[in-house]
Amino acid sequence: MPETSPAARICHHCDGFATAAIDTGTRTTDGTRITLRVDCPTCHGSGALPAPTAAQLAGGRA
Ligand SMILES: [Zn+2]
């Protein structure tokens, strides 16, 4: 069965796991953990790479 949509360009820096939650080790008064959300610096939390530019599609380097 042919694929109708182009393959997703998953970020190679984070393998699509674009956001990490880091436990600070402290808890709020209701007992939930305080976490810091950090996005992948390459894809900025999207998990996918941006669409290639026309120059990249033509075989050149951007
Ligand atoms: Zn990424």
Structure tokens, 62: 């951007």
pLDDT of residue 62: 56
All structural domains of the chain with their residue ranges: 8-52
Q: Where are the extended beta strands (E) located within the chain? A: 19-27, 33-39
pLDDT of residue 60: 64
Reading the chain (62 residues) residue by residue, the pLDDT tens digits are 566 666 678 999 999 999 999 999 999 999 999 999 999 999 999 999 877 777 777 876 55
Ligand 1 center from residue 1 Cα (angstroms): 30
pLDDT of residue 59: 75
pLDDT of residue 52: 73
Ligand 1 center from residue 29 Cα (angstroms): 33
Ligand 1 center from residue 39 Cα (angstroms): 8
Ligand 1 center from residue 8 Cα (angstroms): 13
Ligand 1 center from residue 15 Cα (angstroms): 6
